[in-house]
Structure 1
Amino acid sequence: MSVFIRSRAGKVLGGIAAVGVSALFLAGCSSSTEETTDPATPSESLSLKIGTALPQTGNLAFLGPPEEAGVAYAMSEINMSTEDTGLDLDVVYGDSGDLDNKAYEVEIPRLLGENVSAILGAASSGVSLQFIDQVTGAGVIQFSPANTSDAFTTYDDGGLYFRTAPSDVLQGEVLGNLIAEDGHQTLGMIVLNDSYGTGLAKYVTEAFEAAGGEVVAQPTYNTGDTTFDAQISEVLAADPDAIALITFEEVKTMLPSVIADFPAEDLYFVDGNLANFGDELPEGSLTGAKGTLPGLTIDTLGDFTSALDTFLTDEGGEPLTEYSYAAESYDATILLALASLAAGSTDSAAIAEKLIEVSGGSGDGETCTSFAECAEIIVGGGVADYDGVSGPITFDEAGDPTQASIGIYQFGDDNNYAGYEG
């Protein structure tokens, strides 16, 4: 089921909450000196290089494989069209780490030293905020497939920051309304103390309270913490009807203590921790628990995830067990290549100027749904409007997508999640 929300007063009734967000956001030098050429003459070759700063380690490491797979799959499709477009893409992979291990302190200088036109990442909003000034200050695009903090909407990034994931304004609205519509009147939350966690908790609170509920406990913890007994005790002592866990991978440490004293069907997860736990927990431990994740549901993305797994196995790899933000990473890579082609340049500033256009933000493009289709339009002298596998995207001036979907999922007896049919 899809519900289209055009204002913050909208309701969520199950399945997918598809959200139009243009009314919610404020309107928001380079790695190369290559001169802009006419994009309609592909004989002028373009060698585009981008880097990734995605979580190979740290508390979001489970998101690294699907995100990097999405980038690699997009690169393969882009490079299959090189003969027709004159553009080829090279990707330099790097690790963002987290706020504890700080892998980004070494990786970002290394990637910038590779003369990349863009850095794709990080997944964590808190980590991205640690290096956004370093990247955009160097005149390089930063493009995240998974940042959801509202801080980026008004950030002074010189027009060089973009993301394919929607702001937490949306996920918070959907989750807060979902908890209320499930009949809960009181809510406890355990919250990661960074821009992602506290921002998402704020919007969950606003939506839940607007629906008549009350947040009765909201303890926080910091990245790198390894024990959470105090936070769990505080929430349980408040005797809430529901508990929302706004965390990253630390949730694995919390869950045994939480589910020992609280019914799983009243637990709610978010994009930072929604994972297939499988036999990491006793069978049935999470039956009925729900969670939200920006993007279309995995069920809806079946064709894409199947094609992605086929690509990985053809390359000698293994199919994925998690798909979170794979589509957003794929779309981010496609958009960067299309913008480069439209600009006729690998100059970061020139690409940034075209990203809104190729996403449909200029409103005067021809809709297309693959790199090859969009590239044909651009090479032919037209304007392409790419609608991606993660959604229509359509950037505003802040680099935020103005249309987005929030998938709602429910855990089964196997402790894995599937699309929720409410």
Structure 2
Amino acid sequence: MSVFTRSRVAKVLGGVAIAGASALVLAGCASTGGGAGTTTPTTEERDLTLKVGTVLPQTGSLAFLGPPEEAGALLGVKEVNDAKKGITIDLTRGDSGDADNKAFETTVPKLQSEGVSAMIGAAASGVTKLFLDSNVSAGIITFSPANTSPDFTTWDDDNLYWRTAPSDLLQGEVLGNLIAEDGHKNIGIIYQNDAYGTGLYGVVKDVFESTGGTVVAAESYNDGDGQFDAQVSAIAAAKPDAVVLITFDQFSTIAPLLVNAGVEAKNFYLVDGNLKQWGDKVSVSLEGAKGTTPGPVLEDDFKDRLNAAWADEGGSELQDFSYAAESYDAVVLLALASLSANSTEGADIAAKLQEVSGGSGDGEKCTSFADCADIILAGGVPDYDGYSGGVKFDENGDPTEASIGIFQFGADNNHTRIETR
């Protein structure tokens, strides 16, 4: 497990508590007149309905991440609701698309008008940037399971932006060091010209060069581009001994061009935006190529539950589990923060997210929503360790505990995890 910590001045926000009338829970103790030290437990009613929307990629260049992320959200909602701990989540699913097709321009206003307290998404950092300020103005939490741009760490978000995926300062460090450890001295980089691509490119470049390596060529393109001959020609002309591809689905077009230009695919390095089970969807062999994606090894039981939740919505068996755990944990953390605040107001929930994640250092360890909820209902503070890791948010809404998986492609153009850092 890698530990990655940043801090800034914490914002303290208030809000209006919402209470209903069903689950009676122990909330604390009040002094009575019965003598010194005599206390009588007080109770308050908990019957919260938390409206949450998803803004996840059902279409666009990151659509392969949609099924695992949506499955994670669906499973989280099911398990929170099944626990019957005084909070019910009302989930509305929506498409983020990408920065090219802009499906989020329909989804986000619809969710805002429906009065959601939080939106889970987007997957792409560049997409989140296009609606985050609107959500902040509306007092709505934006909670991404997959945003990795370092820019969000210092975003002026009124404490309303959170993520379970680590910043690319971590993934870029792992990838840059991996390339150097593999013996490469001169690399080329092709990257997408957006918040995700430029951020990760900068970190990989800096880390690799700090090991004594050289970036001999770097070429960018814009999301929505379909022609990459100029970029490939420039990379090939520099004769790198490895190529880093910071792309989304454009990889399937770029990879054959690089191979035809004489670059061996075994020396490709991929990232979370394109590290999927390519199979026959890429026309060249990727055997030996490597890549990185945030996230730990997932338990088989968790994968089975994800598949069951996804099948209930008519989905086929998941082939990829990238960011499923991060999406699941986003739901659980939102529910715990809402229960702890006894409120469904965005600002109130946000004010409790760091605490329930263990970031305050005052909580009792727990690993399921039900167990953590019981701690809250007994008057305590939970420290939730989820399937994505220990989380432990800092004041920025960034997780301070995360892991990065290293994967390698076989002859079938599918990848397997070979290491976790």
TM-score (norm 2): 0.91
Percent identity over paired residues: 56
Taking a change above 3 Å as real, the CA distance of residues 39 and 353 of structure 1, as seen in their structure-2 partners, is farther
The amino acid of 2:417's aligned partner reads: G
Q: What residue is the counterpart of 2:3 in the other structure?
A: 20
Q: Is the 8 A contact 2:19 2:45 kept in 1?
A: no
1:198-256 CA-to-partner distances (Å, cap 9, x unmatched) read: 11000001110011100011110001101111111111111001000001111111121
Q: Could you say what secondary structure the match of 1:420 adopts?
A: strand
Q: Aligned to 1:52, which of 54, 71, 84?
A: 54
Cα distance between partner residues in 2 of 1:39 and 1:316: 40
Q: What residue is the counterpart of 1:88 in the other structure?
A: 88
Q: Is the 8 A contact 1:36 1:343 kept in 2?
A: no
Q: Which moved more, 1:114-123 or 1:260-269?
A: 260-269
Q: Could you say what secondary structure the match of 1:171 adopts?
A: helix
1:91-132 CA-to-partner distances (Å, cap 9, x unmatched) read: 111111111111112211111001000011110001101111
1:165-217 CA-to-partner distances (Å, cap 9, x unmatched) read: 00010011000000000000001010100111011000001110011100011
Q: Report the CA distance between 1:44 and its aligned residue.
A: 2.6
Q: Aligned to 1:79, which of 78, 81, 100?
A: 81
Taking a change above 3 Å as real, the CA distance of residues 225 and 404 of structure 1, as seen in their structure-2 partners, is same
Cα distance between partner residues in 1 of 2:406 and 2:183: 16
The amino acid of 2:385's aligned partner reads: D
Q: What residue is the counterpart of 2:72 in the other structure?
A: 70
The amino acid of 2:200's aligned partner reads: L
Taking a change above 3 Å as real, the CA distance of residues 43 and 35 of structure 1, as seen in their structure-2 partners, is closer
Taking a change above 3 Å as real, the CA distance of residues 392 and 39 of structure 1, as seen in their structure-2 partners, is farther
Q: Is the 8 A contact 1:39 1:341 kept in 2?
A: no
Q: What residue is the counterpart of 1:310 in the other structure?
A: 308
Q: What residue is the counterpart of 1:278 in the other structure?
A: 279
Q: Which moved more, 1:304-313 or 1:363-372?
A: 304-313
Within 5 Å, which residues of 2 pair with 1:237-252?
Answer: 237-252=237-252
Q: Aligned to 1:408, which of 398, 406, 409?
A: 406
Q: Could you say what secondary structure the match of 1:402 adopts?
A: strand
Cα distance between partner residues in 1 of 2:362 and 2:17: 27
Taking a change above 3 Å as real, the CA distance of residues 413 and 27 of structure 1, as seen in their structure-2 partners, is farther
Cα distance between partner residues in 2 of 1:42 and 1:132: 34
Q: Could you say what secondary structure the match of 2:66 adopts?
A: helix
Taking a change above 3 Å as real, the CA distance of residues 42 and 387 of structure 1, as seen in their structure-2 partners, is farther
Q: Is the 8 A contact 1:39 1:342 kept in 2?
A: no
The amino acid of 1:304's aligned partner reads: F
Taking a change above 3 Å as real, the CA distance of residues 33 and 383 of structure 1, as seen in their structure-2 partners, is closer
Q: Aligned to 2:368, which of 357, 367, 370?
A: 370
Cα distance between partner residues in 2 of 1:54 and 1:366: 32
Q: What residue is the counterpart of 1:12 in the other structure?
A: none
Q: Could you say what secondary structure the match of 2:393 adopts?
A: coil
Q: Could you say what secondary structure the match of 1:419 adopts?
A: strand
Cα distance between partner residues in 1 of 2:205 and 2:9: 25
Q: Report the CA distance between 1:309 and its aligned residue.
A: 1.5
Q: What residue is the counterpart of 1:14 in the other structure?
A: none
Q: Report the CA distance between 1:35 and its aligned residue.
A: 3.4
Q: Is the 8 A contact 1:140 1:348 kept in 2?
A: yes
Unmatched 5+ stretches in structure 2: 28-42
1:369-410 CA-to-partner distances (Å, cap 9, x unmatched) read: 011111111111111110010100000000000111011000
Q: What residue is the counterpart of 2:18 in the other structure?
A: 35
Q: Could you say what secondary structure the match of 2:46 adopts?
A: coil
Q: Report the CA distance between 1:421 and its aligned residue.
A: 4.6
Q: Report the CA distance between 1:262 and its aligned residue.
A: 1.6
Unmatched 5+ stretches in structure 1: 1-17
Taking a change above 3 Å as real, the CA distance of residues 193 and 53 of structure 1, as seen in their structure-2 partners, is same
Cα distance between partner residues in 2 of 1:146 and 1:349: 22
Q: Report the CA distance between 1:312 and its aligned residue.
A: 3.0
Q: What residue is the counterpart of 1:213 in the other structure?
A: 213
Q: What residue is the counterpart of 2:339 in the other structure?
A: 341
Q: What residue is the counterpart of 1:332 in the other structure?
A: 330
Q: Report the CA distance between 1:345 and its aligned residue.
A: 0.8
Q: What residue is the counterpart of 2:350 in the other structure?
A: 352
Taking a change above 3 Å as real, the CA distance of residues 218 and 25 of structure 1, as seen in their structure-2 partners, is farther
Q: Report the CA distance between 1:304 and its aligned residue.
A: 1.7
Q: Report the CA distance between 1:318 and its aligned residue.
A: 2.1
Q: Report the CA distance between 1:258 and its aligned residue.
A: 1.8
Cα distance between partner residues in 1 of 2:301 and 2:227: 40
Q: Is the 8 A contact 2:19 2:46 kept in 1?
A: no
Cα distance between partner residues in 2 of 1:182 and 1:216: 17
Q: Report the CA distance between 1:311 and its aligned residue.
A: 3.3
Q: Is the 8 A contact 2:336 2:356 kept in 1?
A: yes
Q: Is the 8 A contact 2:19 2:47 kept in 1?
A: no
Cα distance between partner residues in 2 of 1:243 and 1:372: 46
Q: What residue is the counterpart of 1:118 in the other structure?
A: 118
1:263-296 CA-to-partner distances (Å, cap 9, x unmatched) read: 12210000011000112235x7011100000111
The amino acid of 1:349's aligned partner reads: A
Q: Report the CA distance between 1:316 and its aligned residue.
A: 4.8
Q: Is the 8 A contact 2:272 2:291 kept in 1?
A: yes
The amino acid of 2:242's aligned partner reads: A
Taking a change above 3 Å as real, the CA distance of residues 80 and 194 of structure 1, as seen in their structure-2 partners, is same
The amino acid of 1:125's aligned partner reads: S
Cα distance between partner residues in 2 of 1:229 and 1:302: 42
The amino acid of 2:232's aligned partner reads: I
Q: Could you say what secondary structure the match of 1:287 adopts?
A: coil
Question: Which structure has the larger Rg?
Answer: 2
Q: Report the CA distance between 1:33 and its aligned residue.
A: 5.2
Q: Is the 8 A contact 1:177 1:211 kept in 2?
A: yes
The amino acid of 1:131's aligned partner reads: F
Count residues in correspondence: 399
TM-score (norm 1): 0.91
Cα distance between partner residues in 2 of 1:173 and 1:62: 25
Q: Report the CA distance between 1:69 and its aligned residue.
A: 0.7
Q: What residue is the counterpart of 2:294 in the other structure?
A: 294
